[in-house]
Chain A
Amino acid sequence: MRIRALALAGAAAAMLSVGACNKDNGGNGPKDVQSKEAQKAAGTKTIAAGLPANGKFMAAAKTAGLDQTLAGPGPYTVFVPTDDAIGKAPQGTFDAAPGNRAQLTGIITNMVLPGTVLVADIDKAIDAGKGKAQLATMGGSTVTATKEGGNTVLTDSAGHKAAIVKGDEQFTNGVVHEIDGFLMPSKQPAANAPAVGKKAGK
């Protein structure tokens, strides 16, 4: 009888420990980050699920907390630099370190567009814009699209260029275009951000 009681106590304690571990471990991150409704709206093959989990882009997205964004309903259009392109960026640019989170947030959101924009849509806008089209990014700036040698090329405000090498990878919550370079946000985060000390209106 005594042994049974002790066994029950031990089992209860073990269950407590498991419960506690469930809260904090198992990756030690929040679970069910997206609600069931959001998961359903996003579908099964989201951008986050479709991109290589061990790729440099997703590592950077995770650091910035944007992996859950790309697993959400969207829709988003994401320009994803190849690992080679990321490797050519200045040292530390894409470091998946917590201290680099703010920079990564700015960089990645500068490569995300609202909605679903196919390569054909960009090309059509370039034609309508007499050779170039401005694309508004989620980071608050714009990138310029042009055609060069039959390729669709994106240019950021600093002059970095990246060509779309593999376009229109479709997912339930948007589309991915692989690019062979990286795009950087403008130094000022907002397009019309005021200079320091200048009154920018109320």
Chain B
Amino acid sequence: MTRVFLAAGVAALAISAPAAAGPHGGGGGPNGGGHGKGGGAPAYVNQSGGGEHAHAQGGRGGGGGGGAFRMQSFNGGGGGGGHGHGGGGNAVRMQAFNGGGGGHGHGGDFQMQARGGGHGNAHAMRAQQQQRQQARGNVARTQERIAVREQGHGNRAQAQNRMAFRQQDQNHAQGLNRQQQRANEQAQRTHGNGMNQNRFAQQQQVVVNRVNGRAAIVAENARGIGYGVGGCPPGLSGKGCMPPGQTLKALRSANADVFRASSIGLLSPGIIGPVQAAGFVGTPLATVGNYVPLAALPSSVSYLYPDTSDYYYRYGDGYLYQVNRGDNLVASLFPLLAGGYLPGTYLPQPYMASYVPDYYGLSSFYPASYGAYGYPYANYGYNGGYNYNNICSRYAYGVVYQVDCYTGMVINVIPTYAGGYGVGQMIPSAYSYYNVPMQYRDLYYPTADYSYWYAPGAIYQYDTGSSLITSVAALMSPGFAVGQPLPVGYGAYNVPYAYRATYYDTPNAWYRYNNGYIYQVDPATQLVTAVVASLLT
């Protein structure tokens, strides 16, 4: 009898294990690790900028979040990840999907501006980062920059520190969280030690090169190269005799090659090029595994790719591999990142002049350029790059490419909805905050497992663990504004049934429905004259 019960227990646990275990192992899959429990440290964060990379962690238990230019978190393994609500720098996430528990940073410049610092977790991490920087003697120059910046911020920095210490106190009280965090860090160290060391070395090299390059140029400027030998024009003496824009350009020219090389090197384990991926078709899965860290599909999308008696699926570095059960050869692959150019590649020059159209409000949602606070290049040049727009949005064939304005290197690939953006793809990290239009917020609100994100064309539901889109909650058409001409295509009456008795077309007024509102239109001028009803609020 005893054996029977024991066997039942073991069997039941065995059944539960695959379902509960995260596909990437390490104690937390996209959903594993829970939200707000693990506080797993980001597996890898490019710290080369030396700037204010806000790492959301601890506090509310979120991991990951914030951070600048997080390349890949797979090798970090372990981390329970979770859902870090922490302001933080503008995260440029390449492959959080791969992360051992992911970690989901709700942050970015936009949120920081709108909410005045989010939940404060980022401040805690900033303080931690300062401590780490102090421990590293070889990045004294970076510390100096941070110190100068912090001084410039004055009271803000003090307030941040106060919040950081308060946050740390809370962490003391949360012994379990800290234990978990230590465990995650331990796992992270053991899991991808070699790779991380390699990356760290490359990273340090970038920092050193940048610092050296900058010092050289500043020295040249001091000698009078730029504006007049032997003296600076008034107003530029404090800026190295060269206008800030030119200084920035020179700095980038001096370091672009180094940065390119090291950045691509850093990316290469994270996202592979389409040509290389296509070359894996027909090869044994074990061979692919030598180049790409393979894992089971996240549960949030695995239902889309169910294993069959003939095939099963694996995910790695931006691609889904369909594997033939009979011979274990890769039968086909599906890129889960859309678009012709992947992060880490360079957008061809003609595309750099192809701006995001204003259709659907795309151009206001994806501005032509903006300053990414945490992005490495932002730390160059005058004023620490604060006022420099270093990220550009470009567009081609239904896909928005967020690129580095200077080098043209692709950072994010965001297909627009009509371009096929949807289920199975990742929401862009820079826009991963809750932004559902007001009239839809009562219908689509964040839950423990899912949240919603608006982008021109649709409201998407996504898994907060993996940041993968799980469904299209609502389709959105281009909005109307009072005073604008009625767009082409709205000649037909389209008011919902329940409102037809009240709002029907007359010779003096038409009524048209759009995105939750009923608008009044002047038939003579064809101008939208008023919003007369809201269906959702």
Contacts and interface: CB of A to CB of B under 8 A. Distances in A.
Interface of A: 2-3, 6-7, 9-10, 12-14, 16-17, 19-21, 23-25, 27-30, 32-35, 37-38, 41, 63-69, 72-73, 75-77, 98-99, 101-103, 105-106, 109, 112-117, 121-122, 124-125, 128-129, 133-142, 145, 170, 174, 185, 188-202
A106 B419 CA distance: 7
B534 to A, nearest CB: 13
A65 B493 contact: no
Interface in B446-492: 447, 449-450, 457-458, 461, 463, 469-478, 487-492
B363 interface: yes
Nearest to B302: A28
A128 B491 contact: yes
Interface string B357-378: 1111011000010000000000
20 contacts: A2-B2, A6-B2, A21-B16, A23-B31, A33-B470, A33-B471, A33-B473, A65-B423, A65-B472, A67-B471, A72-B473, A116-B497, A121-B494, A125-B491, A134-B489, A190-B416, A193-B357, A194-B354, A198-B354, A200-B357
Q: Name the residue among A23, A27, A28, A201 with the largest chain B CB count within 10 angstroms.
A: A28
Nearest to A172: B497
B8 A103 contact: no
B422 A68 contact: no
Interface of B: 1-2, 5-6, 8-10, 12-13, 15-17, 19-20, 31, 299-300, 302-306, 320, 332, 334, 338, 350-351, 353-360, 362-363, 368, 395-398, 415-424, 442-445, 447, 449-450, 457-458, 461, 463, 469-478, 487-497, 512-515, 536
Contacts of A122: 492
Given A64-B423, A185-B418, A20 B16 contact: yes
Given A16-B13, A128-B491, A136-B489, A35 B444 contact: yes
B303 A115 contact: no
Nearest to A136: B489
Given A17-B15, A29-B303, A68-B472, A201 B363 contact: yes
Q: Name the residue among B19, B447, B496 with the largest chain A CB count within 10 angstroms.
A: B19
B471 A105 contact: no
B461 A30 contact: yes
A199 B354 contact: yes
Nearest to A2: B2
A121 to B, nearest CB: 4
Contacts of B475: 66, 69, 76, 109, 112, 114, 138
A27 B303 contact: yes
A2 B491 CA distance: 77
Given A66-B475, A98-B334, 12 more contacts: A13-B16, A23-B31, A25-B19, A41-B443, A67-B471, A98-B424, A116-B495, A136-B489, A139-B418, A140-B418, A200-B356, A201-B357
Contacts of A23: 19-20, 31, 299
Contacts of B489: 134-137, 142
B419 A189 contact: yes
A30 B488 CA distance: 37
B359 A191 contact: yes
Contacts of B350: 196-197
